[in-house]
Every structure is written in C-alpha cells, then in structure tokens.
C-alpha cells in the first residue's frame, strides 16, 4: 500500500526522524492562514499524489511570498499531474503540502528496502541526492552503496560510520547520521513498511539531517496489524476495480489492451497475458480469481471485467484442480446469463473434469467459443476481438 | 527414488482443525500419504474424524513427533501464527516443512529465515506455495492429486496452476512426472530453485526437469548459472511468466514485480538459454519440448 509524502513525514516524525515543518492544504482558502503558520522565508509547494517524479511534471514549486505561494498552489491544486510514474493519463491533485524550505549544504539519497537475494533489509545510499536512483544505477552503479541490516542484530555504529564516509560526510556528523538511520529502521520494522525512500536526504548548513522528501510503501500482508497505517489509504489514488476485486479476494490490475482475462492462479494469469500478446493483441487486465476458483468468484470477476469499456472480448483460462471444471463451467454459464454478456467469450478449461465442463458450455445455449490449449484459446480470442472491433 | 518425500514419509499437519487443513489432510490420505496426525495448540487429545479417516490431534509439534515419529510437516496455520508454527516445527526436529499459508508479513519471514539457518539440514518449502507431491506416492500440500501420472520428469515452479499445467502435459505426452515442487510466490521463501534442482540431479528416476519461473527477483538467473555448471546430463525445459507485465505493478504474487529494470522475463530467458536450457514461449509447449529433448 502506498501513502502520501505528508503522511509518511508524519509517521517518520513519531520515530524521531527529522523532517521539515509542513502544512496540508485541500482548499485554496486555507492558504493564507497555513502560510502564516509556517512562517518560513522559503516554502516548497508540493502536489500530493502517490506517483513519484512530481517535480518533473511541475508539481513542486519553491516560493518566497504568500502571493507567489497562492499563484503556484492555485495552479497545482486540481491540476492533472503527469509524471513518468503516473502514465500518460496523469493523476488529479487533490492535496497540496506546504513545507518550510531548508538551507541545503548537501543532498543525498537514502532508502531501506528488501534484498530478496540475501533475505534481509538493506540500506541503499548515494551521495547523488535528488536523482532518479534507477537512472543512477544504470549510468553510475559505483556511486550507489549498500549495507545490510541484520534482522536479529540490526545496523551497527561502525557500519553507519563507514556508510557516512562513503557519502562524503564529515566525522562530526556521523553520530547524527547514525541516529537518522536507526530512526528509519525502527519506522520500517514497527510499521511493516516495504520501502522507505528519502530522496533527497539533506544536510543543512547548520549540520542537521532532514528528510526533504519521503516515500513509504507498506507490506499489504501486514496491514491486519497496522491499523494506523491502513487508515491512511487514499481511495482517490486507488483503482476502484482493483479495490472491488480485492474485496472478493481476487487480484486485478487494469492494463491498456482489449482482451479481458479471467484466470486461476497468478503465474497462469501472467502466462495468459503473455500468450495473448504473442497472438497479436494486448490484455485489458491481469485477473487472478484464486487457485481454487469458486462460482461466486467467477461471477464477480465477470462483472469487474465488464466494467472496463475497453474490453472487446473475454478469455477465461481455468486449470481445474481440486475445483472441478464442470463446476467452473456452471459458474461461467450463470455469470454470463446474469450479466447479460454480449461480448465474445472464449473459454479454455483444462484439468479435472475438463471434458464434462466443455460439454456443459456447449449445451448452455450461450455463444461460447471453447479451446483446449492456451495457445488455441489466445488465437481464438484475438480473432474474436478483431471482429468485434471491426 | 524420488526427491523430498516417499510413500513412507510420516507427515503431520499443523492447523489440522481448520477447514483447509482438514480438507487437504483427507485428500492427502486418499492419495496414500502417511499423514499420522495434526497439531492445533489447545486441541490436543481430540481426534479429527470423517468417513474412513481418523487422526489424532496434538498440542505441540514436539508431542506429535514423539508419539508418531513424524518427519515432515505441512502448515495451514493463518498468517499471524504461521511464523511461530514454522519455528515450532524446526525446533521439534522436523526437517521438511511445507508452508501453504498465504499472506505472512515479509518482516516476519526475514526473522524466521534467519533463525532457520541454525538448522542446516532443514528444508522449508514455501510459504504461499502449493506444496510437494511425489506422483503416485505422497502429497504434502494442496496440489490436485488426479492430474499427473508417475514417470520421469521432475517439475519445479514458483506458481501453482502453471505447475499443474506442466504435470498434466508431461503426463499426456506419456512421460509422466517424478516429484513436483511448488516453491512459492513470496519474495522471502525457503527452498529456492537450486535447492530443488540439485536434488533432481541426484535422483536416478528423474530424467528431465521442467522449471517454471516468473518475473521478479534473480533466482532464475542464479539457477541458470548453477545449471550451466552442474547439470549437463539432464535436459531442462523452462517457461518464464510475465514477459508482458508492466514495470512496477505487482502481479498477484508478492514476489512478481519488476523493479528498477531488474527481474524481467527477457533477462531471465536469456540467462537460461545461455545455460543450455530449452526456453519455451508459451506454457502450451512445455510437454512437447520435453518429449523432444528426452528423445534426442
């Protein structure tokens, strides 16, 4: 789960991670009062959306007066911000964060994330702050430093000193740097984060470390024990179809193509998308109805797929294991009838009772196209979609 | 021979009094698996009964091991309690722990995995996996028992239903399967591809291997390197799911995400091809590709 910068900073403050003073604005009328409350000579006006790269899209501006702040905030609030991470459709800005500017002596990059290979958390750091770290990783991998955080012992002082030296920090700042690191680790572990990224982390002219930007994401599996974090979810930033699927225990992600997919199992669902592409079309979505798909799940999945107006044809790909194909076939028939399905439907059933399932579909009176292999199913659905679009 | 489990392996089910635990305990018994009992703290001394099946329930894994001689465990415990269940099994002397539970917080698994390093001879399979089946002998987990025939192909995979596809196809091709292992879709898990590949290498019955990977992480790349050095005599057929998955989107499995340009399907396929692995473009070709490779 993702949260906004202002929310991440409020959380980090609780773990003694220094962040600048800031105020959240949802209506332009709040600006004069909040600006006065901040009382800073330089203020950053920052769009609050979940995607990164806000500065590049014009979502972050530095101002020095109330008038300037008003001009910029009016521009940003309500704008459709397009950044490299939002996709071309962009994201509407509904909140703006006003933050006291810092006198920057040095900008760095610091993040905590999971290193899957070693099954532990690591610090990733660079003296090149404010840059896209992924870009830097490609062009100058030698400028990125990594340090493991032992799950049982933690991060040691000597490691912090070594990392600080690599970042070019003077010894007199190493103690404060270590405390900053420890605060981040504590926040990460106690809040079940899956990423904390401080970019840039700045050293001010008065030798203080401040998180100038903060990005936090959280482990969805741990939200059951993180009520405070779960409450920060911003529904304006979520795809309503993804949310609806999640309520049924299904995993749905909308994509740009025209073939709606319904598959059981995440791996098979990804494979189905791949095969559709090989057959010459694009999937409209990823949809995993769960390894043991039930009739209710199939019905809910149909409804979700049909809410996407881009969909021109639907492919159902189910490998029946313990859940038998004849039961799934009945689910498909009932769901197709209940939703008044008009689009071409290709169904591929394989595994337990596959033959019985196909017979049920053939006898249903529905115009269902059946297939035996994934390849055949993909070819048939792509053909059907082309006819439908023509 | 086969790997990990045989029809003699004694198995205990942790979380047997739950719906899924008891359902799959019975499915495994019907398959022929030596399920000798279950564990649910607080329900020790009772029995789970239905039809021909009757199994004792114990309060702890330790007690179950002492009274039944259980060697392997299958965990169906809900996510908040599953990390404790894994460690309980390890400390009770179980050396094969198959964790089916989906949704264990990642930070919990980091600590569990570190603690398990005390037990170098222990293998954790999963979490969030379909389990291990030695075809025709023993079934630990949730794999359907009726889709495969015993034979000569070892199957390992990060995905559930794609594993069944592979077993079904090699069976339809008349090759059959030996052992089928789903290592799970979580970013932190126990057994990796190499742990299983090295066992298939030593298994005289396994003549070919199907390895199904997906986007995210670097295990397929590491497996490719291992294969190029250690596995010359058995053909490996591989499919990697997620070639069309967009960057930064998590595709169902918590582990299936492309981040920072790493873990792409294209990169994995390239590494595997370089290692001499036969990489197929669609899962529909797995069975035929293996048949061709074994005939060569």
Chain B: nearest CA to A219, how far in angstroms?
7
Residue-level pLDDT at B258: 65
Which of residues A205, A238, A271 is at a domain's end? Answer: A238
Domain membership of residue B136 (yes or no) is: no
Please name the residue of chain A whose CA is at the shortest distance from the CA of residue B221: A117
Cβ separation B80–A321 shorter than 8 A: no
Helices A266-278, A374-389: inter-axial angle, 10-degree rounding: 60
CA diameter of chain B: 57
Q: Which of B106, B158, B162 sits opposite A194 (nearest CB)?
A: B106
- Would you say residue A152 has pLDDT above 90? no
With CB atoms and an 8 Å threshold, state whether B214 touches A273: no
Last residue of a domain, one of A73, A101, A129: A101
Chain B residue nearest residue A222, CA to CA: B105
Residue among A276, A272, A254 at smallest CA distance from A263? A272
CB neighbourhood size of A270 (10 A):
30
Q: Do A43 and A10 share a structural domain?
A: no
For a pLDDT cut of 70, what percent of chain A falls above it?
99
Least confident of A122-131, A132-141, A155-164, A221-230: A132-141
Residue B250 has a pLDDT of: 74
B91 within some domain: yes
User: What is the length of chain A?
Assistant: 390
Q: Which residue range forms the structural domain that includes residue A43? A: 21-101
Q: Residue B273: give its domain's CATH number.
A: 3.40.50.261
Judged against a pLDDT cut of 70, whether residue B161 lies above it is answered with yes
Q: Evaluate if residue A351 carries a pLDDT over 90.
A: no
Query: Looking at the 3D structure of chain B, how many domains does it have?
Result: 2
Q: Give the CATH number of the domain where residue A136 resides.
A: 3.30.470.20
Same domain, A380 and A267: yes
Residue B158 contacts residue B183 (beta carbons within 8 Å) = yes
Q: Would residue B53 show up in a list of annotated catalytic residues for this protein?
A: no
Q: How far apart are CA B54 and CA B69, in angstroms?
A: 17
Structure tokens at B3: 């790997």
Q: What is the pLDDT of residue B254?
A: 65
Of the candidates A83, A101, A119, which is a domain's last residue?
A101
Mean pLDDT of the A354-383 span: 92
Q: Quick one: closest CA in B to A246, which residue? A: B252
b/e map A11-36, b = 16+ CB within 10 Å: bbbebebbbbebbbbeeeebbeebbe
State the pLDDT at residue A349: 92
* A138 chain-B contacts, CB cut-off 8 A: 261
Task: Round to whole Å and give the CA distance between B271 and B154.
Answer: 21
Residue B97 belongs to domain spanning: 10-125
**Secondary structure of A203-266 in the HEC alphabet?**
EECCCCEEECCCEEEECHHHHHHCHHHHCCCCHHHCCHHHHHHHHCCCEEEECCCCEEEEECCH
pLDDT digits (tens, 9 = 90+) for A234-262: 988 888 898 888 888 889 999 989 999 99
Would you state the structure tokens that stand for residue A381, as one six-digit string? 């659905």
Q: What residues contact B240, with CB distance under 8 A and at least 6 apart? A: B212, B213, B214, B215, B220, B265, B268, B269, B272, B279
- B144 part of contact set with chain A, CB < 8 Å: yes
Task: Give the pLDDT confidence of B77-113 residue by residue, as tens digits.
Answer: 999 999 999 999 999 999 999 999 999 999 999 999 9
Q: Which of B111, B244, B285, B288 would best serve as a mutation to test chain A binding (most A beta carbons within 10 A)?
A: B244
Q: What does the alpha-carbon distance between residue A155 and residue A182 come to, in Å, rounded to a whole number? A: 7
> Can you give the pLDDT at residue B146?
84
Chain A environment of B287 (Cβ under 8 Å): none
Work out the average pLDDT over A336-358.
89
- Are residues A4 and A217 in contact, defined by beta-carbon separation less than 8 angstroms? no
Percent of chain A with pLDDT strictly greater than 90: 70
Question: How confident is residue A6, by pLDDT bands cut at 50, 70 and 90?
Answer: very high
In the predicted model, what is the mean pLDDT of residues A278-290?
Answer: 93
The stretch A189-196 carries a mean pLDDT of 96
Determine the straight-line distance between the first and last CA of chain A, rounded to whole angstroms: 40
Average pLDDT in the A187-197 region?
Answer: 96
Q: Residue A117's closest CA among B221, B179, B48, B236? A: B221
* pLDDT mean over A171-199: 96
What would the mean pLDDT of A304-314 be, rounded to a whole number?
93
Residues A254, A355 within the same domain: yes
pLDDT category at A87 given cuts 50, 70, 90 is confident
Q: Name which of A221, A268, A321 is nearest B147 (Cβ-Cβ).
A: A321
Q: How far apart are CA A148 and CA A119, in angstroms?
A: 10
pLDDT band of residue A298 (cuts 50, 70, 90) is confident
pLDDT of B193 over the 70 cut: yes
Does residue B130 form part of some domain?
no
Distance from CA of A34 to the nearest CA of B (A): 35
My answer on whether A300 and A229 are in the same domain is no
C-alpha A76: how far from chain center: 22
pLDDT given at position B70: 97
Residue A111's H or E segment, with its range, is strand A104-115
Average pLDDT value for residue range A371-377: 93
Question: What confidence tens digit (pLDDT) does each residue in B14-54 have?
Answer: 999 999 999 999 999 999 999 999 999 999 999 999 999 99
Cβ under 8 Å to A: B residues 220-239: 222, 239
Q: Torsion-angle region of residue B132: left (phi > 0), alpha (psi -120 to 50) or beta?
A: beta
Does B67 share its domain with B172?
no
CA distance A23 to chain B (A): 30
Average pLDDT of the residues in B183-194: 94
Per-residue pLDDT tens over the stretch B216-265: 989 999 999 999 999 999 999 999 999 988 877 777 776 676 666 678 99
State the pLDDT at residue B260.
61
Mean pLDDT of chain A: 92
CATH number, residue B22: 3.40.50.720
* DSSP-based three-state secondary structure for A311: coil
**Contact residues, chain A, for B164 at CB < 8 Å:** 319, 321, 351
Cα–Cα distance for residue pair A312/A117, rounded to 1 Å: 41
CB contact under 8 A, A134 and B260: yes
- Determine, for residues B252 and A251 on separate chains, whether the beta-carbon distance falls below 8 Å: yes
As a whole-number percent, the residues of chain B with pLDDT over 90 amount to: 88
A122 and A87 inside one domain? no
* Residues A209 and A257 both lie in one domain: no
Instruction: State the maximum Cα–Cα separation within chain A, in Å, rounded to a whole number.
Output: 80
Same domain? For A251 and A379 the reply is: yes
Q: Does B117 touch chain A (CB under 8 A)?
A: no
- What local confidence, expressed as pLDDT, does residue B259 receive? 66
**pLDDT score at A212:** 94
How confident is the model at residue A13, as a pLDDT? 97
Residue A293 has pLDDT above 80, yes or no: no
Report the complex ipTM.
0.91
Does residue A227 sit at the B interface (CB-CB below 8 Å)?
no
Asked if the structure places residue B55 within a domain, the reply is yes
**pLDDT, tens digit, for every residue of A111-144?**
999 998 899 999 999 998 877 777 788 788 899 9
Distances (CA, A) of B134 to A116, B38, B172: 29, 21, 17
CA distance B163 to B111: 29
Say if B247 is an interface residue toward chain A (CB within 8 Å).
no
């Amino acid at each position: 789960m993702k949260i906004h910068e202002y929310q991440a900073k409020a959380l980090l403050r609780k773990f003694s991670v220094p962040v600048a003073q800031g105020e959240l604005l949802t209506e332009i009328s709040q600006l004069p009062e909040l600006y006065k409350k901040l009382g800073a000579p330089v203020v950053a006006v920052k769009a609050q959306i979940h995607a990164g790269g806000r500065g590049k899209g014009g979502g972050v501006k530095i101002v020095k007066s109330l008038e300037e702040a008003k001009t910029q905030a009016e521009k940003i609030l309500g704008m459709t911000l397009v950044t490299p991470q939002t996709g071309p459709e962009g994201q509407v800005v509904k909140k703006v964060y006003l933050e006291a500017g810092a006198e920057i002596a040095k900008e760095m990059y610091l993040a905590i994330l999971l290193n899957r290979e070693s099954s532990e958390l690591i610090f990733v750091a660079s003296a090149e702050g404010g840059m896209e770290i992924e870009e830097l990783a490609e062009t100058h991998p030698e400028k990125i430093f990594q340090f493991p955080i032992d799950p049982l012992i933690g991060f040691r002082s000597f490691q912090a000193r070594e990392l600080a030296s690599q970042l070019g920090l003077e010894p007199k700042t190493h103690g404060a740097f270590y405390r900053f690191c420890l605060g981040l680790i504590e926040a990460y572990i106690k809040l079940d984060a899956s990423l904390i990224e401080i970019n840039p982390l700045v050293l001010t002219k008065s030798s203080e470390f401040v998180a100038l930007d903060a990005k936090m994401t959280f482990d969805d599996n741990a939200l059951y024990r993180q009520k405070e974090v779960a409450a920060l979810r911003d529904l304006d930033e979520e795809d309503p179809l993804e949310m609806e699927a999640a309520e049924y225990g299904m995993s749905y992600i909308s994509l740009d193509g025209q073939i709606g997919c319904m598959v059981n199992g995440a791996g098979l669902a990804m494979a189905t998308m791949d095969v559709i592409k090989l057959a010459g079309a694009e999937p409209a979505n990823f949809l995993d109805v769960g390894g043991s798909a039930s009739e209710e799940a199939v019905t809910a999945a149909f409804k979700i797929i049909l809410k996407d107006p881009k969909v021109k044809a639907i492919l159902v790909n189910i490998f029946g294991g313990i859940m038998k194909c004849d039961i799934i076939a009945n689910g498909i028939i009932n769901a197709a009838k209940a939703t008044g399905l008009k689009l071409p439907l290709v169904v591929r059933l394989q595994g337990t009772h596959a033959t019985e399932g196909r017979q049920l579909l053939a006898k249903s009176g529905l115009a269902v196209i059946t297939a035996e292999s994934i390849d055949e199913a993909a070819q048939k659905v792509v053909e059907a979609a082309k006819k439908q679009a023509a | 021979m086969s790997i990990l489990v045989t029809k003699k392996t004694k198995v205990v089910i942790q979380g047997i009094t739950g719906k899924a635990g008891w359902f799959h305990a019975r499915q495994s018994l019907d398959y022929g698996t030596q399920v000798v009992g279950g564990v649910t703290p607080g329900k020790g001394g009772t029995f789970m009964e239905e039809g021909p099946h009757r199994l004792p329930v114990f309060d702890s894994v330790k007690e179950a091991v002492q009274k039944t001689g259980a060697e392997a465990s299958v965990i169906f415990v809900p996510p908040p309690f599953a990390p404790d269940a894994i460690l309980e099994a390890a400390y009770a002397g179980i050396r094969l722990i198959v964790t089916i539970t989906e949704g264990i917080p990642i930070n919990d698994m980091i600590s569990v995995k570190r603690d398990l390093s005390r037990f170098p001879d222990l293998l954790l399979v999963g979490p969030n996996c379909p389990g291990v089946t030695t075809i025709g002998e023993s079934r630990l987990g949730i794999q359907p028992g009726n889709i495969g025939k015993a034979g000569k192909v070892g199957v390992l995979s990060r995905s559930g239903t794609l594993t069944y596809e592979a077993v079904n196809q090699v069976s339809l091709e008349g090759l059959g399967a030996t052992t089928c292992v789903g290592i799970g879709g979580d970013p932190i898990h126990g057994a990796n591809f190499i742990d299983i590949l090295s066992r298939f290498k030593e298994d005289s019955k396994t003549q070919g291997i199907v390895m199904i990977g997906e986007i995210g992480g670097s295990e397929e790349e590491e497996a490719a390197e291992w294969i190029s050095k250690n596995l010359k005599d058995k053909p490996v057929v591989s499919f990697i799911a997620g070639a069309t998955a967009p960057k930064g989107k998590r595709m169902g499995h918590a582990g299936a995400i492309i981040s920072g340009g790493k873990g792409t399907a294209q990169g994995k396929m390239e590494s595997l091809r370089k290692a001499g692995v036969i990489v197929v473009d669609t899962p529909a070709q797995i069975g035929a590709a293996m048949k061709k490779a074994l005939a060569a």
